[in-house]
Amino acid sequence: MFSIIQAAGWPIWPLIASSILALALVIERFISLKTSKIAPPKLLNEVMAVTRTSVPGPDVVNQLEKNSALGEVLASGLRALNINPRCDEDELRSSMESTGRLVAHRLERYLNALATIASAAPLMGLFGTVVGMIEIFGSQPAGTATGGNPAELAHGISVALYNTAFGLIVAIPSLIFWRYFRGRVDGYLLTLELSAEHLARHLNHLRK
């Protein structure tokens, strides 16, 4: 592996740094975007059951808020009722929507960085290719049409090909994981939105 890095020359080092960063972001997103941390399947039903007769107190709401991202959104609606029991449905929805936007921003964290790596890696590989081609033509003796130092020609070709290949190796998985996480986040956001809508309707009927 080290021999390949040596053959690729200095332009490959930014690609190696990008690959390490991309791997770290993928691992972090896999850990952070677990369903149990974002939207536990049974949480909405549990909240609906607890609020069937009355709005729970601040202690229960605080515990719900720490449960997950979905719990944080639902807790904001219950907290709004605890603070102002006469708040209308629009104020209730607005409270949950504000919290939902904060949660959405947190879920989308690092996705732009991963997308940037996916876009920039082929360009960095192309840059390495250009550097390799410059070394190839720079190794040609002045005033000669053919020939040149074979070792320098081989080095220039290796720099060009290795950087092109490594740029694609970094970019393709980064793009795949970015699309995967993007779809996962969109699915979570839809779940949060629908759950907040169900709770708002439930609480509105409860007060009537």
Q: What is the mean pLDDT of residues 12-36?
A: 93
- Kindly tell me if the per-residue pLDDT of 1 is higher than 90: no
Q: Against a cut of 0.75, is the pTM above it?
A: yes
Tell me phi and psi for residue 201, to 5 degrees: -65, -40
**pLDDT for res 141:** 59
Name the 3-class secondary structure at 134: helix
Is 194 strand, coil or helix? helix
Q: Are 78 and 92 in contact (CB under 8 A)?
A: no
- Rounded to 5°, angle at Cα 90 from 107 and 205: 100
Per-residue pLDDT band for 83 (boundaries 50, 70, 90) equals confident
- Residue 90's pLDDT is 84
Residue at 5: amino acid letter: I
List the structure tokens of 36. 């149990």
Q: How confident is the model at residue 13 (pLDDT cuts 50, 70, 90)?
A: confident
Residue 6 has pLDDT above 90, yes or no: no
148: left (phi over 0), alpha (psi -120 to 50) or beta: left
